[in-house]
Amino acid sequence: MTIYPETENPLNLYKLLIGAVVPRPIALVSSLSADGIPNLAPFSFFTVASANPPVICFAPMFRGADGSSKDTLQNIRDTKEFVVNIVSEDFGPRMNLTAGEYPPQVNEFEVSGLTPLASEAVGAFRVAESRVQMECRLKEIVEVSSLPLGGSLVLGEIVRMHIADEIVTDYRIDPDKLAAIGRMGGPTYSRTRDRYEMERP
């Protein structure tokens, strides 16, 4: 099968991409609206962009149905701040509850039962249940495409990183204690328990 993107339905391209680029880590992104309403949503188009300075990036897409902005993107445009929380197995189902397409006035901390924790350097709350929480200041938004299912790359500089003491030794995080989950296609997730080593040449 060979795909010619210029003639393909964008939804099919989306399905192929989320099936091919796997597993994807999940950023549970907390933000505040201009009016101060907390927002929480997961994003798996997510990775590290730089360690010096520490910069992470994730990509909210414009909604497939009507091309509108996700609340997270609008909030970050307005406030220039957010928190990325890493998702562990134990609160995966609560993370999933935050992914509903709720109107901007809905506080997904209340919908999901996840616990808001005040941040040190930014207004957005951290997720208390998360073992790694990264407080970020917006560095740049790259609008890759403004079409429905097009993405904006949000780059955030980490200004505070909180790691649960019990999961870290000498700056190394124990993956069993973090128990991060990843997203595959559709409703499928992966655990990070099945690992092996390969020495680099």
Ligand X SMILES: Cc1cc2nc3c(=O)[nH]c(=O)nc-3n(C[C@H](O)[C@H](O)[C@H](O)COP(=O)(O)O)c2cc1C
Interaction of residue 45 with ligand X, rule CB under 6 A: yes
Site string for ligand X, 77-96 (x = CB under 6 A): -------------------x
Give the torsion through C-alpha atoms of 192, 180, 62, 142, to 10 deg.
-100
Q: How many CA atoms lie within 13 A of 59 on its CB side?
A: 17
The Cα–Cα gap between 87 and 185 comes to: 17
Q: From the list 8, 90, 101, 140, which residue makes contact with ligand X (rule: CB under 6 A)? A: 101
Q: Does the protein bind ligand X through residue 39 (CB under 6 A)?
A: yes
Peptide bond into 187 cis (omega under 30): no
Q: Does 60 bind ligand X (CB under 6 A)?
A: yes
Q: Which stretch binds ligand X (CB under 6 A): 54-62, 78-86, 115-123, 139-147?
A: 54-62
| Smallest separation (angstroms) from ligand X to the CB of 181 | 8
Contacting residue, 30, 44, 79, 130, with ligand X by CB under 6 A: 44
Distance between CA atoms of 94 and 113, rounded to whole angstroms? 7
Q: What's the one-letter identity of residue 37?
A: I
Assess 126 for contact with ligand X (CB under 6 A): no
Nearer to ligand X, 115 or 168 (CB): 115
Q: Which is nearer to ligand X, 100 or 175 (CB)?
A: 100
User: Which residue's CB is nearer to ligand X, number 21 or number 174?
Assistant: 21
Q: For ligand X, which stretch binds (CB under 6 A), given 6-14, 49-57, 59-67, 125-133?
A: 59-67
Q: Which of 32, 56, 57, 59 binds ligand X (CB under 6 A)?
A: 59
Half-sphere exposure of residue 129: CA atoms within 13 angstroms, side-chain side: 18
26 interacts with ligand X by CB under 6 A: yes
> What is the rounded distance in angstroms from the CA atom of residue 88 to the CA atom of residue 86?
7
Apex CA 159: angle with CA 98 and CA 36, to 5°? 45
Q: Cβ neighbours of residue 91 under 8 Å, at least 6 residues apart?
A: 114, 127, 129, 130
Contact between 38 and ligand X per CB under 6 A? no
Residues interacting with ligand X, by CB under 6 A?
26, 39, 41-45, 59-61, 70-72, 96, 99-101, 183
